[in-house]
């Protein structure tokens, strides 16, 4: 009973977190809205793989070392910030260079070697998630509070993380479905440039915030 109550309470907390617009939302919407739904699902799976990794490491007590070590946390923070700024800057650069993808072209700022691949999206989603040390800090601060006394720490931690993953998958499906409604409008080059500029600004902004925020 105690674990069941913890699962429901944790679902409420991470559900609100999942619904809050952020970097994950921007990446999923952008990729899906450009018609690259296989890659969009790859991004989703990569993000959730990262979430599972953070949850497993926290359940084992490994991520506590990250928050305890100033050098480790700062190193990961700056690497993650650099990656996000680089990714956002590429999106913005391509729009101002006139490299707006046509309806059947592969977006130059995201897709390597012209393939709408699940694997490429998975790598992008995974990197984005794992290079964000605030995910690790969130799990270290929040996850242990929902593990009932006497429960197996690792098993309970994975169950709680699974709740987060399921909610993330459901919300991602909603986002991808909504993006499909914009297909007609996004076939216009001007609309695609606008989408890339908005997403590039959001991604780079998160990188800057990660680098210089508290």
Reference 90, options 112, 75, 105; nearest CA is: 112
DSSP track, 89-143: HHHHHHHHTT----TTSPPTTT-GGG---HHHHHHHHHHHHHT-HHHHHHHHHHG
pLDDT digits (tens, 9 = 90+) for 115-146: 468 888 999 999 989 988 778 888 888 888 88
Q: Is the pLDDT of residue 107 over 70?
A: no
Give residue 67's pLDDT: 67
Per-residue pLDDT, averaged over 152-158, amounts to 91
Residues of the chain above pLDDT 90, percent: 24
Reference 99, options 5, 192, 9; nearest CA is: 192
162 band by pLDDT with thresholds 50, 70 and 90:
very high
Give residue 187's pLDDT: 63
- Round the average pLDDT of the chain to a whole number and report it: 81
Give residue 102's pLDDT: 40
List the Cα angle 81/176/111 in 5-degree steps. Answer: 55
Give residue 186's pLDDT: 64
Q: Is the pLDDT of residue 29 over 50?
A: yes
- 78 compared with 10, residue with greater pLDDT: 10
Give residue 71's pLDDT: 77
Give residue 174's pLDDT: 93
Q: Is the pLDDT of residue 41 over 90?
A: yes
For 152, other C-beta atoms within 10 Å of its C-beta total 12
pLDDT digits (tens, 9 = 90+) for 13-23: 899 888 887 88
- 156 compared with 204, residue with greater pLDDT: 156
């Amino acid at each position: 009973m105690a674990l069941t109550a913890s699962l429901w309470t944790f679902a409420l907390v991470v559900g609100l977190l999942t619904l809050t617009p952020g970097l994950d939302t921007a990446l999923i919407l952008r990729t899906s809205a450009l018609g690259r739904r296989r890659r969009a699902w790859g991004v989703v799976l990569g993000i959730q793989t990262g979430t599972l990794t953070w949850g497993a490491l926290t359940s084992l007590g490994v991520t506590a070392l990250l928050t305890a070590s100033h050098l480790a946390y700062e190193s990961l923070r700056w690497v993650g910030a650099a990656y996000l700024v680089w990714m956002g800057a590429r999106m913005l650069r391509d729009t101002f260079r006139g490299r707006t993808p046509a309806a059947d072209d592969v977006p130059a700022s995201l897709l390597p070697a012209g393939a709408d691949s699940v694997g490429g999206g998975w790598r992008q989603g995974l990197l984005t998630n794992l290079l964000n040390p605030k995910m690790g800090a969130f799990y270290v601060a929040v996850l242990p509070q929902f593990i009932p006394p006497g429960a197996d720490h690792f098993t309970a931690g994975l169950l709680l993380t699974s709740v987060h993953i399921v909610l993330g998958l459901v919300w991602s499906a909603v986002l991808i479905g909504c993006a499909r409604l914009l297909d007609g409008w996004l076939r216009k080059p001007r609309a695609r440039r606008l989408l890339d500029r908005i997403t590039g600004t959001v991604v780079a902004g998160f990188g800057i915030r990660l680098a210089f925020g508290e």
